Amino acid sequence: MHAYPSDIAFTPAVKAIQTEKGSRTSYSKMEARGSWQTTVTSELEAFLADLDMFYLGTSSADGQPYIQYRGGAPGFLKVIDEKTLGFADFGGNRQYISLGNLSENPKAFIFLMDYVHSRRIKVWGKAKVVEGDTALEDRLRDPEYPSKVERAILIEIEAWDINCPQHIHKRFPHRAVAPVIEQLQRRVQELEADLAVATSEVSPSPRSARSQPAA
């Protein structure tokens, strides 16, 4: 049992290095103020509603880490209850590394990235694979995505924290950029049409150009 939710990441070894490097005092004050969140708040729920990707971290029984990219429609990582997140799992390259890791080590980590607004949230917890629960799969599926849901993955939240926005590069999803590009393309076509009309009005015809007296 951790004294503070942040102890899930701030192990004795981490705290020793924080002391050595001079940051332990400030993090001790953070712990005294309440440390990290342990349940879904309205802030986290709003963040998830617009999220279309995240990174899932698992590790094998002997501690070999693995990071997997997960993507979907905005809000595909759903709130099940105040302590649980879930998402539908579809067929992929059939390596099953994450599933294998979770079968022997339930510890999981989710890195939530919002590149547009330079925000990131870190979530620590335990994950489990749920096979054959049709009701849960229906709750997590995207009706506009035709692939078959093979299973559900649930994450029990132990702690989460908002990370600083420093050094996050701006990246924009296609759904945000496409309408802007289409608008610009329409405007370019309009200007090209206007230019063609203006050019035709001021340019002399070939016949009138030939009838002009030579200098």
- Strands in 78-81's sheet, in edge-to-edge order, are 65-71, 53-59, 107-114, 119-130, 149-163, 84-90, 78-81
Residues 13, 59, single domain; the answer is no
CATH number for 95: 2.30.110.10
As a whole number of angstroms, the distance between CA 20 and CA 14 comes to 10
What is the reported pLDDT for 93? 82
In a domain, 215, yes or no: no
In a domain, 114, yes or no: yes
In a domain, 211, yes or no: no
Residues 55, 13, single domain; the answer is no
Residues 157, 194, single domain; the answer is no
Query: Which domain does 137 fall in, by range?
Result: 36-163
In a domain, 213, yes or no: no
Residues 147, 194, single domain; the answer is no
Residue-wise pLDDT for 80-138, tens only, equals: 999 999 999 998 788 999 999 999 999 999 999 988 888 899 999 999 999 999 999 99
pTM for the whole thing? 0.79
Residues 155, 180, single domain; the answer is no
Whether 11 shows a pLDDT value over 70: the answer reads: yes
In a domain, 45, yes or no: yes
Asked if 38 and 159 touch (Cβ cutoff 8 Å), the reply is: yes
Residues 86, 182, single domain; the answer is no
In a domain, 210, yes or no: no
Question: How many Cβ atoms sit within 10 Å of the Cβ of residue 95?
Answer: 10
